[in-house]
A and B are shown apart, each in its own frame.
Chain A
Amino acid sequence: MLRRRVIPCLDVADGRVVKGTRFVDLVDEGDPPDLAERYAREGADELVFLDISAAPQGRSTLLDIVARTARRAFIPLTVGGGVRSVDDMRAVLRAGADKVSLNTAAVADPELVTACARRFGSQAVVVAIDARLREPGASSSGWEVLVRGGRDTTGLDAVDWAERVVELGAGELLVTSIDRDGTGSGYDTALLRAIVDRVPVPVIASGGARTPAHLVAAIVEGGADAVLAASIFHRGLVSISEVKQALAQAGLPVRSIPAAPAAA
Chain B
Amino acid sequence: MTRIAVVDYGAGNLVSIEQALTTVGAEVTIIDGPGGIAGADGLVVPGVGAAAPAMAQLRDQGLVEPIRAWIAAGRPYLGICLGLQLLFESSDEDGAEALGVLAGRARRLANAPTLPHIGWNQAVQTREHPLFAGIEQAADFYFVHSYAGELAPSAAAAVLATTDHGDRFASAVAIGSLAGVQFHPERSGIDGLRLLANFVGLVASGATGRAATREPGVAVSA
Interface residue ranges, A against B (CB under 8 Å): 1-5, 40, 45, 67, 70-71, 74-76, 93-98, 120-124, 171-172, 200-202, 225-226, 255-256, 258-261, 264
Q: Chain B residues near A45: list those with CB within 8 A.
A: 119-120, 142
Q: Chain B residues near A95: list those with CB within 8 A.
A: 15
Q: A258 and B190 in contact (CB under 8 A), knowing A67-B15, A74-B20, A97-B13?
A: yes
Tell me if B68 is interfacial: C-beta within 8 Å of chain A.
no
16 A–B contacts, CB within 8 A, in A order: A1-B121, A1-B164, A2-B114, A2-B121, A3-B140, A67-B15, A74-B187, A74-B188, A74-B189, A98-B13, A124-B48, A124-B49, A172-B116, A202-B116, A255-B120, A258-B191
Q: Which of B69-77, B95-103, B192-200, B210-218 contacts A (4 or more CB under 8 A)?
A: B192-200
Closest B residue to A121 by beta carbon equals B49
Q: Chain A residues near B139: list those with CB within 8 A.
A: 258
Please classify the interface of chain A as helix (H, G, I), strand (E, B), loop, or mixed, using the class held by over half of its residues.
loop
Question: How far in angstroms is the closest Cβ of chain A from B210?
Answer: 28
Closest A residue to B193 by beta carbon equals A74
Q: Please tell me if the beta carbons of B119 and A226 are within 8 angstroms of each other in the complex.
A: yes
Q: A2 and B117 in contact (CB under 8 A), knowing A123-B144, A255-B140?
A: yes
Docked complex Cα distance between A95 and B12 (Å) = 11
Q: Please tell me if the beta carbons of A201 and B25 are within 8 angstroms of each other in the complex.
A: no
Q: Please tell me if the beta carbons of A70 and B119 are within 8 angstroms of each other in the complex.
A: no
Docked complex Cα distance between A120 and B53 (Å) = 10
Enumerate B169-222 residues with CB–CB distance to A below 8 Å: 184, 186-194, 197
- Since A45-B120, A71-B19 are in contact, a sample of 14 more A-B pairs with Cβ atoms closer than 8 Å, ordered by chain A residue number, is A3-B119, A3-B120, A3-B140, A40-B189, A71-B15, A76-B142, A76-B184, A96-B15, A123-B118, A123-B144, A123-B145, A201-B114, A256-B140, A264-B23
Tell me if B146 is interfacial: C-beta within 8 Å of chain A.
yes
Tell me if B50 is interfacial: C-beta within 8 Å of chain A.
yes
Closest B residue to A94 by beta carbon equals B15
Question: How far in angstroms is the closest Cβ of chain B from A45?
Answer: 6
Docked complex Cα distance between A258 and B188 (Å) = 10
Interface residue ranges, B against A (CB under 8 Å): 12-16, 19-20, 23-25, 48-50, 113-122, 134, 136, 139-140, 142, 144-146, 164-165, 184, 186-194, 197
Docked complex Cα distance between A171 and B144 (Å) = 10
Q: Please tell me if the beta carbons of A75 and B15 are within 8 angstroms of each other in the complex.
A: no
Question: How far in angstroms is the closest Cβ of chain B from A2?
Answer: 5
Contact partner of B114 among A75, A200, A264, CB < 8 A?
A200
Q: A123 and B116 in contact (CB under 8 A), knowing A76-B142, A258-B191?
A: yes
Closest B residue to A258 by beta carbon equals B190
Q: Chain B residues near A75: list those with CB within 8 A.
A: 142, 187-189
Interface centre among A5, A70, A74 (most CB of B within 10 A): A74
Q: Please tell me if the beta carbons of A98 and B144 are within 8 angstroms of each other in the complex.
A: yes
Q: Chain B residues near A2: list those with CB within 8 A.
A: 113-114, 117, 119-121, 165
Question: How far in angstroms is the closest Cβ of chain A from B138?
Answer: 10
Docked complex Cα distance between A124 and B120 (Å) = 16
Q: Please tell me if the beta carbons of B186 and A74 are within 8 angstroms of each other in the complex.
A: yes
Question: How far in angstroms is the closest Cβ of chain B from A191?
Answer: 18
Q: Chain A residues near B12: list those with CB within 8 A.
A: 93, 98, 120-121, 124
Q: Please tell me if the beta carbons of B187 and A98 are within 8 angstroms of each other in the complex.
A: yes
Contact partner of A225 among B119, B144, B145, B193, CB < 8 A?
B119
Q: Please tell me if the beta carbons of B16 and A98 are within 8 angstroms of each other in the complex.
A: yes
Docked complex Cα distance between A206 and B153 (Å) = 44
Closest B residue to A226 by beta carbon equals B119
Contact partner of A261 among B20, B116, B190, CB < 8 A?
B190
Q: Please tell me if the beta carbons of B15 and A122 are within 8 angstroms of each other in the complex.
A: no
Closest B residue to A76 by beta carbon equals B187
Docked complex Cα distance between A164 and B187 (Å) = 30
Closest B residue to A126 by beta carbon equals B118
Q: Please tell me if the beta carbons of B24 and A200 are within 8 angstroms of each other in the complex.
A: no
Question: How far in angstroms is the closest Cβ of chain B from A102?
Answer: 16
Docked complex Cα distance between A232 and B208 (Å) = 48
Closest A residue to B142 by beta carbon equals A76
